[in-house]
Amino acid sequence: MAKKPSVTIRDVAKKAGVSVATVSRVLNKSALVTAETRARIEALAGKLHYVPNASARGLSTRRNDIIGLLLPAVNGDFFSEVIRGADATAQKYGFHFLISSHHNELAEIQSGLQAMTGRVDGLILMSPNQDAHLLRKSILPRGLPVVLLNCPPEGEPIDALTVDNTAGATAIVRHLIDHGHRRIAILTGRPENVDARERLAGYRIAVRAGSCEHSQDLELEGNFDESSGYEAVRTLLCLKPRPTAFFVSNDAMAVGALSALRDAGINVPDDIAIAGFDDTPVARYLTPPLTTVHVPISELGTLAMQRLINHLRTGKRLNKEHGVLPVETVIRQSCGCH
């Protein structure tokens, strides 16, 4: 049985009574087509079961409609939320994206970039452990639009989105101080991580302004994962006198911290108050529900994707802007205020 010939763009144009160029503009989401014409051609293309040839389309437009998303990891609530925001926005505008992880190593970032070069039209890169100047000068592909996430540009001419870590940490530690705590410990991330450094800075601002006890013993380093939160709390519980409150620099470590306190027979918040940072989806379902700093995590992915897609669709240059997303304190039971 002879195979039925596939429908071509010329077939769609002929049936619609328009030029091939007009059909191409509709398929490429161009703004140079009226809404009525767009609707008519899209309906006709669907009726004819027309499937665009992705390779030919890429050659004609010099675009693949694919965005690269390079993250430190792809597991965990934080990164899942970034991906969720990016995915919803990409789907909205008919784009796709490739995801890779680099585990914060510069060589792995470079390897991920090499794998994506020629396949993506733009790149979203989250690399809080790396210097923006080094990234731009040494490994970022020239001519490829890039938006950095949680990697402050520090004067570099590059688009970036970060969250207000210092203000968020200062506010939540002040909240603990306002409720009578004067011996507050912090579980930090690695010092090379900019989020960890900024949250530690916010903690120090608050405890000094509140005339609280402050010593290196109250600052314990973790790795932004559950196990390091568990181990850090076991160490902090050995301090004499014991801290009355813990500020944990991300919710993943707070999960481990709560588990360690529960295993030690310590009641939260009656014996020790605890607060986290990020407001990942799990935070409200912990026992007790976690007081934390709300970060618009999915919005990071959404805004970064929007910036790149707007650039690709309109041809307007990226503004090389550094956007700082505001955060807010979310009060739940773990701090003893409910």
Condensed to tens digits (0 to 9), the pLDDT of residues 217-234 reads 999 999 999 999 999 999
Pairing of strands 292-294, 273-275: unpaired
Residue 6 has pLDDT above 80, yes or no: no
pLDDT category at 35 given cuts 50, 70, 90 is confident
Domain limits of the chain?
9-61, 66-163+297-325, 165-295+329-335
* Span of 142-146, 147-151, 213-217, 282-286 with lowest mean pLDDT: 142-146
- pLDDT tens string 292-307: 999 999 999 999 999 9
Query: Do the domains spanning 9-61 and 66-163+297-325 agree at the CATH topology level?
Result: no
pLDDT of residue 62: 59
Q: Are residues 24 and 50 in contact, defined by beta-carbon separation less than 8 angstroms?
A: no
- pLDDT tens string 119-136: 899 999 999 988 888 888
Q: Which fold has domain 165-295+329-335?
A: Rossmann fold (3.40.50)
Which class would CATH give 66-163+297-325? alpha beta
pLDDT category at 143 given cuts 50, 70, 90 is confident
- With a CB cutoff of 8 Å and minimum separation 6, the contacts of 14 are none
Q: Are residues 82 and 150 in contact, defined by beta-carbon separation less than 8 angstroms?
A: no
Count of H-run helices and E-run strands, the chain: 12, 12
pLDDT of residue 264: 97
Enter the tokens of residue 100.
């890779």
- pLDDT tens string 42-65: 888 888 877 665 444 544 445 678
Enter the tokens of residue 41.
């051609």
Instruction: Please count the CA atoms within 13 angstroms of the CA of 72 that sit on its side-chain side.
Output: 19
Instruction: Determine the Cα–Cα distance for residues 113 and 74; give it in Å rounded to an integer.
Output: 16
Q: For tokens 């040839």, what's the residue? A: 53
CATH superfamily of 9-61: lambda repressor-like DNA-binding domains (1.10.260.40)
pTM above the 0.95 mark? Answer: no
Q: Are residues 332 and 338 in contact, defined by beta-carbon separation less than 8 angstroms?
A: yes
